[in-house]
Amino acid sequence: MYQDLLLATDGSEGAAQATEHAIELAYRLESTLHILSVSEEGPHSTEKRDEMRTDPESEAESAVANAEHAATDAGIEVTTTTLQGVPQEEIVGFADEQGMDMIIVGTVGRSGLDKLVVGSVAEKVVQNATVPVVTVRETDTE
């Protein structure tokens, strides 16, 4: 039933926590983990919000490589893809086109003006996906 799991990652702390959950799910379900990262385009892209991030394509490749390393260390069968575009659109489109059974994505608990202006990739994936979506909230660790 859940043979192909899609992990959407951007390399953030929330995405790292989602990666841990995705690896555990793939292990328990004996599934293939498909890892996707999207370098953002447009006025609300990561590089526009965060001046410290200047190479979105390199960051997407690094996010995929880090998740791939963790998954292969756990003995999980993995595929990797990086795309360029609007993250929520690319994630949902990839899941549909590739026949994914589930999407796993991290989320940051944004609220207020930041959420209204930027929106939530995870929220938009949940609203538009045709398959189940597991969201993993970023938590503080001490």
Mark the ranges of the chain whose per-residue pLDDT is less than 70.
41-54, 109-119, 140-142
What does pTM read for this prediction?
Answer: 0.83
State the amino acid at position 4 in one-letter form: D
CB 87 within 8 A of CB 8: yes
Q: What gap in Å lies between CA 37 and CA 46, rounded to an integer?
A: 13
Q: Which domains does the chain carry?
A: 4-137 (3.40.50.620)
Determine the pLDDT at residue 111: 52
